[in-house]
Amino acid sequence: MIPDDLIVKVLATEKGYVNDPADAGGETNFGITIAVARAFGYTGPMKSMTRDTAIAIYRARYWTQPHFDQIAAVDLPLASNLFDGGVNMGPATAVAWMQRALNVLNAQGASFPDIVVDGGAGAMTLAALRMYKTQRGAPGMAVLLEMVRALRRVAYIQIAENKPINEKFEYGWQQRVSQGVTS
């Protein structure tokens, strides 16, 4: 189960209804895009979507479905960062950041077979994460987390560089990475 404080912190950032033409997600409420809401069965107007509906979607789509709950069993700060990044850019993108970092921290396959960077936290990715933590401990997990944050920061920069209208979001995105969703 996702820790309540993670949802509370995301909802503090993703407030209410927004329909900003610069936002690629289009119409959103509580940070949930219309496409995601529809995929999870919500059929009403986005302006009317309740906070409870958003929370249910966060639990299913952004925590359980991408296996962040299983990553949290290994390292909660990492899972929390992946969750927040996944809310912003999609869970598969967040998982791919972790996969890329694990592969380059693996010293050419010395500790575990390199994993396919496919954005899915399947058995091989979870095994690699556990092996990495066993070998590197808490200091290694801190390094992995900072690498994921760095990849996330660069991704936001690239979005704004490729579509300058998104520059208006850049400061908030970077601030979100700095503040994190865990204390």
pLDDT tens sequence across 144-166: 999 999 999 999 999 899 989 88
Q: Helix or strand or coil: residue 33?
A: strand
Q: What is the pLDDT of residue 92?
A: 98
pLDDT tens sequence across 27-38: 999 999 999 999
Separation between Cα atoms, residue 175 and residue 178, nearest integer Å: 5
- DSSP secondary structure letters along 140-177: HHHHHHHHHHHHHHHHHHHHHHHSGGGHHHHHHHHHHH
Locate CATH 1.20.141.10 in the chain.
1-65
Looking at the whole model, is its pTM more than 0.85?
A: yes
Q: What is the pLDDT of residue 96?
A: 98
Q: Helix or strand or coil: residue 115?
A: coil
pLDDT tens sequence across 98-148: 999 999 999 866 788 899 999 999 999 999 999 999 999 999 999 999 999
As a whole number, mean pLDDT of residues 61-86 equals 96
CATH topology of domain 1-65: Chitosanase, subunit A; domain 1 (1.20.141)
